[in-house]
Amino acid sequence: MLSSSSNQFTPLPSEETQVNSDQDEYDSTMIRSVDDTLDALLARVGYGRFHTTLLILCGFGWLADNMWLQTVAIILPRVQDHFKVDDKWIGTVSSSLFTGMMLGSFFWGSYSDTRGRKLPYTMTLAITSVFGILSSFAFSFWSLCVLLFFLGFGVGGNMPTDGALYLEFLPKEYHYLLTFMSVFFSFGAVFASILGYIILPSTSCPEPTPDILSPECDVATQNRGWRILLFSVGMLTLSMMAARSFCLRLPETPKFLLNNNKRRETIIVLQDIAKMNGNNHVDIQTSDLHDQKQQRDSSSNNGSSDTGSGDRHYDDYDDDDGGNGHGMNEQDGLLASPHFTNKSTDQGATDNTPPSGFSPPPFDSTTAAGEIFSAEAPTAAATYHRNGRTLDEESSIRTLGANSPPLEDVISPSHQNNTNSWSILLSYKWRRTILLIWGIWTFTSMAFTMFNVFLPKYLESLGYEGETPPTRKDVYWDYMIYSMAGVPGSVMASYMIETRLGRKGTMAFSAFGSAIALFLFSVIKSRTAMLMSSSSVSFLATLLYAVIYGYTPEVFDTVIRGTAVGSASGFGRVAGIASPILSGVLFTVKAVLPLYVSVVGFVFVGICIILLPLETRSLRSSG
């Protein structure tokens, strides 16, 4: 972890008012060149303790996601006892959580693309912890459902924002760590099941016996376990939110900043990351943020010859103004609107106040950077060309903005436009990929939820031929083993995706394998065999989720990444809303019917994976 003296970033200039624009499309080659530029700079910054700390803090979001899913699944039978809910309605508890997760996924995913990753990074866990604690005081079945809905709205934002945030700080050669981060997702289930095993058996209603099939229970005093469990998980989430707030206060990601043409802030963040990693010799200059027009021209000349290499292929956009795209002018190698002129070239040449209206941070031994790193603030040995004028080669990065073009002159408003993000996502270039991704997330969620949410009830009700019926403690023990089986799945996924199987092959293997394991679970009766088959489902489904969570943000460009992951996660939550209710109805007809539907769902997921057009392992290796 970072020491207390090196856990803060240099304060960045405040946000400027964004400029409205009629631009409805973006130059995808320019966006790709921005990504390539940042990938090269992040490689120079290298991997270090900053990234390890961020891996843990972002992993907390994924841990919370699955921890709450498993917690709700574990308490379902006890909530049913407490409020006397029928089997066909008890799934409403999980559906309420998934409804909130769905809306949270769409909202926070789109927000992170248009306004930045920073606020969702903290707010999602804050909302989750508050409503998680409040849910332990629910006074009725429906009040519990409402509170879990708002909890879901918070926790639902973790998947689309945390993965994208971590990826955009990560050097490309370490992208496999995004898949490894899913180990936190697995540990979320483990923590929930361990707490359930410790708390619930002794704080729940008495179990039925052969002599007393329906023992009396004072739910106010004898069935408090589910409330204690919700409160405990809520406090654990609160501690994770506090760690995010105080251990490492993040700025925006460098890719988000550069995609919004905030070059000065991008350099500051990269310099700070290098110092946090103990790499004080990295010298990132303004000239390192390459001229985007040169990169676009190079990409357009060479990119068409890369077919079959596994790289993304971009369609050409109409360009009626000499290559700048939709009425945009070239200025300092960045796209600028023709409706604005740079007044600072004609006046205030010696003024140290930036035209954009903010003052540069102080540059002396008392600066934030100096306080944090106990070192002199970095300088940039850069020559910054602007309308024939240059800045002194030794001018500070912190004061570079004093002579930079106004933010309004260089910002590309379409990158901030939520509607435009959706139009890009649904364009011909991305349509097939996003539709298949939506199908994968939707049917994976449906298949796994129909099995996972009702697993405690399956274990209690299916019974074992020729064996003594399991006690609740036995059930929670089996559920804990089932949860732990998912942990090696996450680790195995990070290895398998780098083999010849790649991302697609690993996902297909785990999807079809999950279908086979689920079918075996539905037909066998031995407790040992059921435990082995359910653990196989946990291992393979976790492996599948691990790669899905890594593949989805990896395959899309930065400007649509949050929207893509958020919408995919949202559709997964839609399936999660319907699955518990459908499972409850099917469960009353025949206990194994939901399992058969899950088998079909995983088979469909495997088919969608095979049809995906892009293998991101090739993208990374060729990048």
pLDDT digits (tens, 9 = 90+) for 437-468: 999 999 999 999 888 877 877 776 665 555 67
Q: Average pLDDT in the 144-164 region?
A: 90
Residue with tokens 């083999």: 499
Secondary structure (DSSP) of 47-104 = --HHHHHHHHHHHHHHHHHHHHHHHHHHHHHHHHHHHT--HHHHTHHHHHHHHHHHHH
Q: What's the pLDDT band for 10 if we cut at 50, 70, 90?
A: low
Q: Average pLDDT in the 143-164 region?
A: 91
pLDDT at 5 over 70: no
**CA separation (Å) from 382 to 275, 349, 394, 407?**
19, 19, 7, 20
pLDDT digit string, tens, across residues 537-573: 999 999 999 899 888 988 888 778 888 888 898 898 8
pLDDT digit string, tens, across residues 566-599: 889 889 888 888 888 888 888 888 878 889 999 9
Q: What's the pLDDT band for 371 if we cut at 50, 70, 90?
A: very low
Give the C-alpha separation, 484 to 539, whole Å. Answer: 9
pTM across the whole model: 0.67
At residue 123, what is the residue type?
Answer: M
Q: What is the dihedral of CA 133, 135, 137, 143, to 10 degrees?
A: 160
Going by C-alpha positions, the residue among 18, 19, 25, 21 that lies closest to residue 325 is 25
Specify the range with the lowest mean pLDDT, choosing from 23-37, 73-87, 343-357, 415-429.
343-357
Q: Average pLDDT in the 285-307 region?
A: 50
pLDDT digit string, tens, across residues 123-133: 999 999 999 99
Tell me, what's the pLDDT at 407?
A: 35
Give the C-alpha separation, 589 to 408, whole Å. Answer: 63
Domains of the chain as residue ranges with CATH: 34-203+220-251+421-622 (1.20.1250.20)
Specify the range with the lowest mean pLDDT, choosing from 196-200, 251-255, 330-334.
330-334
Tell me, what's the pLDDT at 321?
A: 38
Tell me, what's the pLDDT at 336?
A: 35
Specify the range with the lowest mean pLDDT, choosing from 113-117, 318-322, 522-526.
318-322
Q: What's the pLDDT band for 275 if we cut at 50, 70, 90?
A: confident
Classify residue 297 as exposed, middle or buried by CB count within 10 Å of its CB (0-12, 13-18, 19+). middle
